[in-house]
Amino acid sequence: MTDEQREPERQEEEALTPRQREILRLLIQEYIDTATPVGSHTLRAIGGLGVSSATIRNELAVLEEMGYLAQPHTSAGRVPTVKGYRYFVERLLGDVDLPLPSKRMIRHQFHQIRLNLDQWMELTAAVLAHTTRAASLVTAPHASNARFRHIQLISIRDTLCLMILVLQDGSIHQEMLVTTEPISQEALSQLSNQFNALLYNKTVQEIEESSHPELAALEGWRAEVLRHALYLMEQVDRRSISEIHRDGLINVLRQPEFDDAERLLHVLELLEQRHLLESILAKTLNANGVQIIFGGEGPYEDISDVSLVLSPYGVRGKATGVLGILGPMRMPYGRAISAVQYVAELMSGLIREIYG
């Protein structure tokens, strides 16, 4: 879509030597652990690469030249750039899998809980936040095309009724309706039943196109109810992302890179703004597998210093959602990716069980 993916063939850029890759790998790992710039000495002390610090220095200079590393200032060690992180994640990380005990613990928690969607979301957010020590984001499963499942009209007062609309993806929507004339509960129930019979499993479009005689014949408040229900369904269709559940914010904000109140607030603002977050999550919704978004580049300029590990979940076409984490760019990607992947699989399984 964007031409970012395919820049004018910079393929020629010399590949890294095995030693350079190893140095890059060690450096990033160390930096992720310690949060301090890593120098040639430390690197020599850590690792199995049997060369002197001077050699490492030379290699570091090359890696910096190529844009994988940066120096905060002349007399400091090196720090990975976004390009460095990306290379690390894509080429150096290898296949990671969540440790078995963690998996077991997660599974266990999921089996404990009562079958309640909201509680699920919360649990998922909590589990993700806990296992990755980052902030988690989870959206509820959601069908791209709302299909009617059930409507219920409940009289609250003579001219006021509560409309409860259940869709195929299991989401429940409610709204109060005011009528000009008093309506009895019997009339409401009757209309509910009529709708339940006529609209079952239909999308907004299908309902509008079908122009069923019984529907066309509706008048007054009955027509009004139908209009409202359709309007609600349209609204649901429009929002590709439903409510976002979060957890573990503090995990991220405690990281040393945010010891400055300024930056801390910046991240916080980011998470409070639904807009930005929604648009990011929406992109992942149609992706395959785990996606990693690094802040600070291209379209994500304003979310510097953080990155997101996201994955879609659910059953394509039935009910899908996005879940993942947001953490400092200096993040244990291995664990993060495997955790997100695992939880996404689990959730997909549950969704399949229910809606499959």
Cα first-last separation, the chain: 31
3-class DSSP state of 29: helix
Q: Which does 133 bind (CB under 5 to 8 A by kind): its own copies, DNA, none?
A: none
* Residue 77 binding DNA, by CB under 7 A: yes
Is residue 59 within 8 Å of residue 23, measured between CB atoms? yes
Number of chain positions touching its own copies (CB under 8 A): 37
* Residue 116 binding its own copies, by CB under 8 A: yes
DSSP 13: S
3-class DSSP state of 317: coil
* Residue 73 binding DNA, by CB under 7 A: yes
Q: Which is nearer to DNA, 32 or 60 (CB)?
A: 60
* Residue 249 binding its own copies, by CB under 8 A: yes
Q: What are the tokens at 172?
A: 């429940």
Q: Which is nearer to its own copies, 168 or 311 (CB)?
A: 168
Number of chain positions touching DNA (CB under 7 A): 26
* Residue 149 binding its own copies, by CB under 8 A: yes
Using the rule CB under 7 A, which residue among 29, 78, 148, 188 binds DNA?
78
Q: Which does 249 bind (CB under 5 to 8 A by kind): DNA, its own copies, none?
A: its own copies
Amino acid (one-letter) located at 61: A
- CA 253, 255, 258, 261 torsion-angle sign: positive
Return the C-alpha torsion angle 197, 202, 206, 211, nearest 10.
10
Using the rule CB under 7 A, which residue among 22, 64, 224, 237 binds DNA?
64
| Least spacing, CB of residue 270 vs DNA, in Å | 24
Q: Which is nearer to its own copies, 43 or 233 (CB)?
A: 233
CA distance 45 to 20: 16
Q: Which is nearer to DNA, 73 or 108 (CB)?
A: 73
CA distance 265 to 41: 35
Residues whose CB is less than 8 angstroms from the CB of residue 263 and which lie 6 or more positions away in sequence, other chains included: 257, 305
Region 228-257 residues binding DNA, contact defined as CB under 7 A: none
**Residue whose entry in the numeric block shows the structure tokens 């499959």:** 356
Using the rule CB under 8 A, which residue among 51, 282, 315, 354 binds its own copies?
354
* Residue 54 binding DNA, by CB under 7 A: yes
* Residue 166 binding its own copies, by CB under 8 A: yes
Segment interacting with DNA, rule: CB under 7 A, options 45-53, 109-117, 259-267, 304-312: 45-53
Segment interacting with its own copies, rule: CB under 8 A, options 48-56, 102-110, 147-155, 279-287: 147-155
Is residue 270 within 8 Å of residue 244, measured between CB atoms? no
* Residue 115 binding its own copies, by CB under 8 A: yes
DSSP 298: G
Q: Which of 234, 229, 215, 237 is nearest to 152 (CA)?
A: 229
**Overall residue count recorded for the chain in this entry:** 356
The pairing of strands 135-139 and 319-328 is antiparallel
Segment interacting with its own copies, rule: CB under 8 A, options 44-52, 75-83, 171-179, 325-333: 171-179
Is residue 31 within 8 Å of residue 79, measured between CB atoms? yes
Segment interacting with its own copies, rule: CB under 8 A, options 99-107, 144-152, 213-221, 318-326: 144-152
Per DSSP, which regions of 2-53 are E strands?
Answer: none
* Residue 279 binding its own copies, by CB under 8 A: no
Using the rule CB under 7 A, which residue among 37, 84, 248, 312 binds DNA?
37
Q: Which of 186, 179, 122, 199 is nearest to 154 (CA)?
A: 186
Interface residues with DNA (CB under 7 A) are 36-42, 50-55, 57-58, 60-61, 64, 71-78
Interface residues with its own copies (CB under 8 A) are 114-118, 149-150, 152, 154, 156-157, 160, 162, 164, 166, 170, 172, 174-178, 249-250, 253-254, 258-261, 264-265, 268-269, 272, 354-355
